[in-house]
Amino acid sequence: MKKLTAIILALVMLTALCACGSKTDPQATADPQTVEYPLVCVSKETVKADLDGDGKEDEIYVDTTVADPNAEPRITALKINGTDFTQSLYAAGFYSNSPDEKNFVITDVDAADGRLEIALMDYGPSDDNVTDFFRWDGKAVAYIGQVSGLAYYSTQAGKTGTDLSFDGKGTVGAYVRLSVLQTWFAACDYRVGDDGKFAVVPQQLYYPLGNNTYPVTALKDVYVYAKNDLGSAKSVLKTGGALTITATDNAEWVLCKNEDGADCWLHLSSDGQMIDTPDGAHYSGDVLDGLVFAD
């Protein structure tokens, strides 16, 4: 009987030990910490991340302070696993003007490719904010181009946030400065093209940021088309007539609304800066009052 009791006690103790063993330290069984991208990093501090998807962490050191204030505004360093790739970045077409000297970003443009990207932000020559992206393949850093806007607002600017959105499927939502008629910007998507660089995904029409519209007045007679087709019906908007500009194809047509609220189109020629009028094409600023021009 004593022997049986001892056996039962031993079994109870063994069961208790197993139960305790199943309650392992939570830190040991917790899933690896999920990093949310974009990850904001501090310049001149080493960051560890698996850039090329080989299962090993890479050491990333980026110093975005300007190397020589009296020369070109080049960043000081971009190093991966101790190797400095700064000069090769500039040789590949990267250009810096007014780099964010406090922060850089690591992000994941396409979760399916197993790679991360390094993003460097620049305030541009006149607040033309841009973000430049780079990829590491385990041997070299490739420059994959530029997107308008900042991947992260520096605390230096007094706020936090981002101009860009990442869907994790290769698309970056941002904006583009339009190249016709006036100085204006439109929302757009960017994707890496066949040349390995980011490019704007073409749209039929580009609508100004914030759904802005531009009321304008004709400074001289101007042709107005019923459709974005030179073969469509056209009429003459007389000097003093009003239009509201709403969108453009960023090539040769500008969508407007007339005073009755109906859609109509202006035709552009000569690199998008000239508007068709009864006496030939004239510079947009000489044809319409109310356009925006800024550098």
Q: Which of 115, 140, 170 is the last residue of a domain?
A: 170
Range with lowest mean pLDDT among 2-11, 30-39, 192-201, 237-246: 2-11
Q: Is the pLDDT of residue 233 over 70?
A: yes
What is the pLDDT averaged over residues 220-241? 97
60 occurs within a structural domain: yes
pLDDT class of 287 with cuts at 50, 70, 90: very high
Residues 157 and 228 in one domain: no
Q: Which residues of 135-157 are buried (b: 16+ CB within 10 A; e: fewer)?
A: bbeeeebbbbbbbbbbbbbbeee
Residue 249's SS3 state is: coil
Q: What is the pTM of this model?
A: 0.81
Q: What is the CATH number of the domain that holds 259?
A: 2.30.30
| Residues 52 and 134 occupy one common structural domain | yes
83 pLDDT exceeds 70? yes
Residue 56 has pLDDT above 80, yes or no: yes
For residue 276, what pLDDT band results from cuts at 50, 70 and 90?
Answer: very high
Inside any domain, residue 144 = yes
Report the pLDDT value the prediction gives residue 31, as an integer from 0 to 100.
38
Give the pairing of strands 141-148 and 222-225: unpaired
Residues 152 and 250 in one domain: no
Tell whether 157 and 217 lie within a shared domain: no
Instruction: Provide the residue type at 278 as one letter.
Output: P
- Would you say residue 283 has pLDDT above 60? yes
Q: Which domain holds residue 163?
A: 39-170
Lowest-confidence pick of 3-7, 93-97, 157-161, 172-176: 3-7
Neighbours of 274 (CB within 10 A): 19
Whether 247 and 164 share a structural domain: no
Structural domain includes residue 28: no
- In this prediction, residues 86-99 reach a mean pLDDT of 91
Q: Are residues 137 and 225 in the same domain?
A: no
- Nearest to 253, CA basis, from 199, 219, 204: 204
The whole-angstrom distance between residue 174's C-alpha and the CA centroid of its chain comes to 5
Say whether pLDDT at 274 is over 80.
Answer: yes
If asked whether residues 81 and 166 sit together in one domain, one would say: yes
Q: Looking at the structure, tell me whether residues 214 and 166 fall in a common domain.
A: no
Same domain membership, residue 154 and residue 61 = yes
Residue indicated by tokens 């925006």: 292
Distance, in Å, from the CA atom of 146 to the CA atom of 94, rounded to the nearest integer, reads: 9
pLDDT tens digits, 63-80: 999 988 888 888 999 999
Which of 112, 142, 170 is the endpoint of a domain?
170
Whether residues 114 and 216 fall in one domain: no
Identify which has the larger pLDDT, 127 or 76: 76
> At a CB cut-off of 8 Å and minimum separation 6, what does 173 contact?
164, 165, 166, 167, 187, 188, 189, 190
The reported pLDDT for the residue numbered 175 is 94
Q: Residue 84 is encoded by which pair of tokens?
A: 């400095």
Half-sphere exposure of 45 toward its Cβ, with a 13 Å CA cutoff? Answer: 10
Annotate 146-188 with DSSP letters as a single string: EEES-SS--GGGT----S-EE-SBS-EEEEEE--SSSS-EEEE
Residues 279 and 231 in one domain: yes
Section 230-248 average pLDDT: 97
Q: What is the DSSP string of 232-286?
A: S-EEEEPTT-EEEEEEE-SSSEEEEE-TTS-EEEEEEETTTTEEEETTEEEEHHH
45 within a domain of the structure (yes/no): yes
Q: Judge if 123 and 52 occupy the same domain.
A: yes
In the DSSP assignment, the letter for residue 111 is G
The per-residue pLDDT for 8 is 34
Structure tokens at 129: 């904010």
Residues 6+ positions from 28 with CB-CB distance below 8 Å: none
- Which of 109, 140, 170 lies at the terminal end of a domain, its last residue? 170
Residue 133 resides in a domain:
yes
Distance CA 100, CA 64 (A): 7
The domain total for the chain is: 2
Q: Which residue has the higher pLDDT, 35 or 22?
A: 35
Q: Is residue 258 part of a domain?
A: yes
Over residues 178-194, the mean pLDDT reads 95
Q: Looking at 26-30, 97-101, 235-239, which range is the least confident one?
A: 26-30
Higher pLDDT, 147 or 128: 147
Q: Is residue 24 part of a domain?
A: no
Contacts of 150 (CB under 8 A, 6+ apart): 100, 121, 129, 130, 131, 162, 163, 164
Query: CA angle, corner 151, sides to 82 and 85, nearest 5?
Result: 20
Average model confidence (pLDDT) across the chain = 86
Cβ contact 67:74 at 8 Å? yes
pLDDT at 247: 97
Residue 67 lies in a domain: yes
Tens of pLDDT, residues 3-33: 333 433 333 333 333 333 333 332 232 233 5
The two tokens of residue 15 are: 């069961």
| Residue 27 to residue 78: CA distance in whole angstroms | 33
